[in-house]
Structure 1
Amino acid sequence: MSAGADTDATDATDAGVGRLARLAPGVGLLVALAAAATLVAGVVPGVNALLLGVFFGAAVANTVGVPDWARPGVDTQKLLLETGIVLLGARIAVDELVASGPVLVALVVVTVAAGVLLVEAVAGRVFGLADKTGSLLAAGASVCGVSATTAIAGTIDADGESLAHVVAAVLLFDALTLAVFPIAGDLLPLSGRQFGIWAGLSMFSTGPVTAAGFAHSDVAGRWATVTKLARNSMLGFVAVAYAVRYAGRAEEAATGLRAVFDGVPRFLVGFVAVAAVANLGLLSDATLATVGTTSDALFALAFVGLGLDVRLDAMRRTGTAPLAVLGVQLLTVSALALAAVLVLF
């Protein structure tokens, strides 16, 4: 090996070590808070460790704040969540999914379309919001939360102030639904599958949906994640529709679709691949157990990170109109979705 190659390898190693050193403190904070949540949940009956982790994270974020030295590691929470979802594929029974597939897909399509149309109708006519602000709210509430809002903002050339207000409103509802849906799941006569599909159809963002599902039960967590991923996959279609609406040309629709490609969850491919491998019987029981344990650990860390991203001061600066629109959408869609789930599943 040449001296140049040796130098390149050394530089790469040093860069990797440096990156790990930057991430370690924040990841350590996630581990500490997740461990504390697990410990408390183990001694206090009826307390869910995942939701407690979110609460601990939010408490830290809104009291002492997240220190600069921890931020790089805390920001890995999205990767941790996505990796946990990929590994969750090993716990999905494909035969059950296939049996419910056509009905579930149809329900997802109808829910997304109805949610978008409802928000578009009430945002401007009832609450007097600008067209583009209403479109951002429609995408965020109906498809995949902040990810859809940000992606659609680029497609329709929305201004930064409108985007910031909508993102804050969506985050507030993420926090509220994460607290309310598990309680509703305990009060309503729903099976794990029914609750998971209901949460996956109704709540806004992937992280809170997954957390609420697993707070109810393992079965609910799996169905909530699958349903939410199906909703997320609708982002490209919604982006094309908005590109055509605002640009008025099919060529712009293709450009808009490319612009939001990064917003479509790539981990969906990994999730499907892991589910296929597991259901073909290619993984041993020991391997499946290890994958399940790893997925649970990643979720515990990711949900703490979700809490650390909750900023009450930013939410207080959001106007009431976006909150009212999201409230109308959530109440209407969740009520109709609950009725459909009770009838169809």
Structure 2
Amino acid sequence: MKNYSATEVRSFGLAAVLTLICALIGTFLAGLPYLNLIGALVISLLMGMVFQVFKGPVQTAKFGIGFISNKFLRLGIILLGFKLNLLDLARAGVKTILLAMIVVTGTILLTYTIARKLNVEKELAILAAGGTGICGAAAVMGISPQIKVPEEQAEHQRENEVLAVAVVAILGTIFTLVDISLKPLLHLTATQFGVMAGASLHEIAHAVAAGSAGGPVSLDAAIITKLSRVLMLAPAALIIGAWYQRSTNKERGDAAQKAKLPIPWFMAGFILASIIGTFVPLGANIIQLLVKAAYLFLGMAMAALGISVNFRVIWQRGRNVFLAAFISSIILLIFAIIVVKLFF
């Protein structure tokens, strides 16, 4: 086990305090009207960006910030598994699971293809595609560890993460308002509207906000459909990581062919947590506490990311990836409307 120096321990302590403050503020603000459309994770990221003004403490906390953005991210993803009740997903039926599989696969491929056509770099295109197709910020952060880049590109990759999170947060908020506006025009049942929201929106917070506009039945349908997409996070991360490694090895030539394929062990923890949460009688209060802890750790990881990136560069690089995700989000919404009309 590695022994950390006193300086590194102090750095971690300061980083923990800074990111915890950001995460707690994000959690509080996400409970307010209108801000709940943005979600706690994105607000935590924004608070981290704001904290960049404290240059002295941020510089001192540099080591700890890197540790939190890496380790706390994985811990948060694992704990997020307790939010997935596999029996509830099974009761939703084959149609819902099949819809989630088609939405996730199709949206990732479509967003990535459009982004690459618009000259978005591969790593950023993958993260934006995953966030758009699966579950927003959590998907971006869950897939990112599978994108292994050289050490000298680590800062650039953190910028990619923030940019992808920003894109799905903005688009998710826009399309939440679009879904709610379309509700009286589409003449959907409560279940149909909920499934449409869960199938087409980006963050869990977005699906909850839109689904609640249709009443309790609609909200339940939106949450189940959205969580069906969240369930795809583990296999998607594994497949994307393996594909990225192989394609990168091929580009680099034979010398890199022996590089190991990344195995997202923390995703195994995510699945294990969902199994435990489903079949072990922990009680609703314990499950709720674990899920809150998940969002707290993820919020701290997002805050650490926000503290450590150059968002001026992100602003300059964001146009094409935003356009790609916007186009695929429109197509996804149209597809979701057609599917719920025909099959739900």
TM-score relative to the length of structure 1: 0.65
Q: Is the 8 A contact 1:236 1:264 kept in 2?
A: no
Match of 1:117 in 2: 113
Match of 2:122 in 1: 135
| Cα distance change of structure 1 residues 97 and 261 upon mapping to structure 2, 3 Å threshold | farther
Residue 295 of structure 1: CA displacement? Answer: 0.9
Amino acid at match of 1:185: T
Structural mapping, 1:35-54, within 5 Å: 35-37=24-26, 45-48=33-36, 50=40, 52-54=43-45
TM-score relative to the length of structure 2: 0.65
Q: Which runs of 5+ in 1 are unaligned?
A: 1-10, 124-132, 201-208
Say if 2:89 is the partner of 1:96. no
Higher RCO (CA-CA < 8 Å; seq separation 6+): 2
Structure 2 distance, partners of 1:245, 1:19, is 34
Match of 2:186 in 1: none
Structural mapping, 1:1-345, within 5 Å: 26-37=15-26, 45-48=33-36, 50=40, 52-64=43-55, 66=58, 68-69=60-61, 71=65, 74-75=68-69, 76-90=71-85, 93-94=88-89, 95-96=91-92, 98-123=94-119, 134-143=121-130, 145=140, 148=143, 151-152=146-147, 160=152, 165=156, 167-189=158-180, 191=193, 193-200=195-202, 209-210=203-204, 212=206, 223-224=225-226, 226-231=228-233, 233-238=235-240, 241=243, 243=246, 247=250, 258-262=260-264, 265-274=267-276, 276-277=278-279, 282-283=280-281, 287-310=283-306, 314-317=310-313, 320=316, 323-345=318-340
Number of aligned residues: 300
Indicate the percent of aligned positions where both proteins have the same amino acid.
Answer: 11
Structure 1 distance, partners of 2:168, 2:79, is 21
Structure 1 distance, partners of 2:255, 2:168, is 35
Q: Is the 8 A contact 2:86 2:278 kept in 1?
A: no
Tell me how large the CA RMSD over aligned residues is.
Answer: 4.5
Residue 96 of structure 1: CA displacement? Answer: 1.4
Structure 2 distance, partners of 1:328, 1:40, is 28
Q: Which runs of 5+ in 2 are unaligned?
A: 131-138, 184-192, 213-218
Q: Is the 8 A contact 2:234 2:268 kept in 1?
A: no
Structure 2 distance, partners of 1:96, 1:89, is 13
Q: Is the 8 A contact 1:196 1:221 kept in 2?
A: yes
* 1:229-287 CA-partner distances (Å, limit 9, x unpaired): 51552344445555268639xx999956x42224883333224413541xxxx426xx1
Larger Rg: 1
Structure 2 distance, partners of 1:328, 1:255, is 36
Residue 116 of structure 1: CA displacement? Answer: 3.1
Structure 2 distance, partners of 1:237, 1:252, is 23
SS at 2:60's partner residue?
coil
Residue 87 of structure 1: CA displacement? Answer: 1.6
Match of 1:126 in 2: none
Q: Is the 8 A contact 2:22 2:44 kept in 1?
A: yes
Residue 193 of structure 1: CA displacement? Answer: 4.6
Residue 150 of structure 1: CA displacement? Answer: 6.1
* 1:50-75 CA-partner distances (Å, limit 9, x unpaired): 25444433322355563635637744
Residue 330 of structure 1: CA displacement? Answer: 0.5
